Amino acid sequence: MPASREVVFVDGVRTPFGRSGPKGLYAETRADDMVVRVIRELMRRNPGLPPERVDEVAIAATTQIGDQGLTIGRSAAVLAGLPKSVPGYAIDRMCAGAMTAVTTVAGGISFGAYDVAIAGGVEHMGRHPMGEGVDPNPRFLSERLVDGSALIMGMTAENLHDRYPSITKDRADAFAVASQEKAAKAYADGRIQPDLVPMAARKAAEGWGLATADEAPRPGTTMDALRALKTPFRPHGRVTAGNASGINDGATGCVVAAREVADELGLPARMRLVSYAFAGVDPEVMGVGPIPSTERALRLAGLSIDDIGLFEINEAFAVQVLAFLEHFGIADDDPRVNPYGGAIAFGHPLASSGVRLMIQLSREFAERPDVRYGITTMCVGMGMGGTVIWENLA
């Protein structure tokens, strides 16, 4: 049995994220073409990586039908022009799809089955709304395995507010305003653009255009504007379109490799995978998922929460990030948390988001050689959490 090897994050890119729907950036763009664009850009940016040295392509999608079906890791690899000898497959862990793609190929690299792999995710929620074509087993409700709210993410966020009465709507709105402000500053400072791949997008009425920036951010968002929004999931509720991520389209991808192989090929090693963990929680409060997954990942790494210098937490809902921070005794406005802003501003194309977190963390690591460890973590539909701990190699 081979000795385990260190796994490093070499590079990551993503398409700009679009708003879903007939007016969105990618209304008439295929999901698989977005993945192809990401794979081709990863190969272009890393000329030291011979295409035949890619051992696996793992691509996640939550709704694996239509242009997100046909085992998209393999089909996108062929479409991207990788040699036919390069295999690929599809993954589904809802929001943590791309994160699971990375941890799965990382396990293969550590074991010695692969040297280099491409992992990522795509979600075209305009073409494939969450839950399209699914048929939940009636036993979930008839046997009361879950509450009816478990299948509606916004209702699980309202349930989380119930569980944490200290997390008021004002606190959630304030967190959302800060996310928009940080994202606007990150764009102004040129922190986001280096890892965006421009995506050609066509609309019948307008012809061809080039998507070069995220469509979802709303710079200048104010508390007054957020206070005025409706609470669609509950009368007099606390969850709104303003303090939650949107419905979005986008794709992400990254190259991960064994550390000695990255060195051999002259590829950058931006961060090292230290540990990862997934955990299950009650589906009705899926937003608490990152708490047990982070506790487990820390335990496996022999670290404590105080060792973590940067946090990239997926902002599916403001309340879910705040519950995590409250549990670990971290302030709502701690500068270590989502320094470039998060999904409330950028958007959350379900299965793709895990690698966006990694891309931003690696960029933050490069600016902060004083920080040794960071984490990427997210809640997952059906009651789960996922966490990856990374070491800064800058």
Domain borders along the chain are: 7-125+246-392
Q: Is the pLDDT of residue 2 over 70?
A: no
Q: Is the pLDDT of residue 88 over 60?
A: yes
Confidence of residue 394 (pLDDT cuts 50, 70, 90): confident
CB atoms within 10 A of CB 334: 13
Both structure tokens of 362: 């690696």
pLDDT of residue 1: 53
Pairing mode, if any, of strands 199-203 and 116-124? unpaired
The identity of residue 185, as a single letter, is K
Q: What Å distances lie between residue 105 and 4, 109, 172, 217, 359, CA to CA?
A: 13, 6, 35, 32, 17
Whole-angstrom distance, CA of residue 255 vs CA of residue 117: 6
Report yes or no: 120 and 377 within 8 Å, Cβ to Cβ: no
Does the pTM of the predicted model rise above 0.95? yes
pLDDT of residue 382: 93
Question: Could you list the active site residues?
Answer: 95, 348, 379
CATH for the 7-125+246-392 domain, from 3.40.50.20, 3.90.550.10, 2.30.29.30, 3.40.47.10: 3.40.47.10
Q: What Å distances lie between residue 310 and 34, 112, 318, 358, 392, CA to CA?
A: 29, 30, 18, 11, 10
pLDDT of residue 96: 98
Strand ranges in 111-220 using DSSP code E only, listed in sequence order: 116-124, 199-203, 207-211
